[in-house]
Amino acid sequence: MKFEFNLPDFCYKGFTEHDVKVCIASALHDKDICPLGYAAEAVGLDKYTVAEDMGKFGVVLNKMSIEDAEKRADNAIRRAEARKLKGKP
């Protein structure tokens, strides 16, 4: 599917074509329409560029809850301690 559209000049507010592409890719990813890599590819950018620039538009790359983040941190600490007990760096 291909879309082409023209934005009136007053919509740009200093945005470049790149900024508009990042906004579109960010929205596709943020709304769980597609993974970041596919969203970036859809607008002709790479996912690393989009990931780096999407913060400008208030889009969070990782929508993890505080509870999930705490669980992951606890698990990482446990794994590190287990490796240390086994003598692994």
- Could you list the residue range(s) of the whole structural domain that residue 51 is in? 15-85
Q: Kindly give, in sequence order, each residue whose CB lies less than 8 Å from that of residue 57, ignoring residues fewer than 6 positions away.
A: 22, 23, 26
Q: What is the pLDDT of residue 43?
A: 92
**Euclidean distance between CA atoms 49 and 35, whole angstroms:** 14
For residue 32, CA distances in Å to 20, 57, 80 come to 19, 17, 33
Domains: count for the chain: 1
Say if 32 falls within a structural domain: yes
Q: Which residue has the higher pLDDT, 42 or 59?
A: 42
Please compute the mean of the pLDDT values over residues 25-53 and round it to a whole number: 89
The average confidence (pLDDT) of the chain is 82
Say if 6 falls within a structural domain: no
**Euclidean distance between CA atoms 4 and 55, whole angstroms:** 25
Confidence of residue 44 (pLDDT cuts 50, 70, 90): very high
